[in-house]
Amino acid sequence: MVEVGNGVKGLEPGDRVAVYLAIGCGHCSYCLRGYMHLCPQWKCVGFDVDGGDADYMVAPAACCLKLPDGMSYETGALLTDNVGTQYHTQKMLGVSGQDSVAVFGLGPMGSAAALVAKARGARVIAVDVLDSRLQMAKELGVDAIVNSTLQDAVQALRDWTYGEGVDAAIDCSGSPIAQNAALDAARKLGSVAFVGESRSTTINPSDQMIRKLLRVVGGWHFPVWEWEEIARFVIDQNIPVNQYITHRFSIEQADEAFRLFDERVTDKAVFVWE
């Protein structure tokens, strides 16, 4: 942090911070509960307002989240995105050491899902169509992997859970096929979270949800007040968050970075400053 505005309290030049992506009105019921991304007037840093990939940016004081001593900027950036979303989502699901968890789609969000679920004590199985992403999942410590182009993912998950189905299924792909597989693979009285963005999906509510008494939630970001809790969780559990960063670029390499991302050469890529 280089400068602070007049009237700002609790922040000083030199503080190390990560920036919460949502800027809300500050007065509606969602903002007052810390869910600025649900504000009807919300704006996203880097999309609706300038910032994010730049040498300097301006952000509201409420969006400046102090980094704990010893936490890198890279880790802080991932906590404001993938890890924070997964922490809040799995907290809603109540994931614990008693649970089996299936993660569909092992991109950056799915990798964070696997790390958080393992840190919460769960047994984790990763499902993807790319061997490279499944290899990454193994390196992150998942208990089993399924390539859904080679295996029936739902049957594999049922076999892995003695025919019951998983306690929780988290879709991070946004694929209608994976979303349906998540619903089918969850056991009766189980839980499913949809995190991957999707325009439309056709499901069978009666068989997939109603008659299984399934709990289905949407996972999208986290309330700002949860930041310190998320940071403590990562530190206390010694979660190797940086492990799923696949590429690092300087800001001068932005054109190349976005091109490679669009071509799906990278998974999680970050800009770094010396």
Cα–Cα distance for residue pair 155/152, rounded to 1 Å: 5
| Position 274 pLDDT exceeds 80 | no
Q: For residue range 32-61, list pLDDT tens digits in order.
A: 999 999 999 999 998 999 887 888 999 999
Task: State residue 140's pLDDT score.
Answer: 96
Contact between 244 and 111 (Cβ < 8 Å): yes
pLDDT in tens, 221-266: 999 999 999 999 999 999 999 999 999 999 999 999 999 989 888 8
Residue type, 233: F
**Mean pLDDT of all residues in 73-77:** 95
- What DSSP letter does each residue of 203-217 carry, written as one string? --HHHHTGGGT-EEE
227 by Cβ neighbours in 10 Å (0-12 / 13-18 / 19+) ranks as buried
- What is the distance of C-alpha 33 from the center of its chain? 21
* pLDDT tens by residue, 105-164: 999 999 999 999 999 999 999 999 999 999 999 999 999 999 999 999 999 999 999 999
Taking the complete model, does pTM exceed 0.85, yes or no?
A: yes
Q: What is the DSSP string of 45-72?
A: BTTTBS-SSSS-----GGGEEEPPTT--
What domains can be seen in the chain, in order of their start residue?
1-66 (no CATH), 90-218 (3.40.50.720)
- Least Cα distance to 40 among 56, 24, 53, 18 occurs for 24
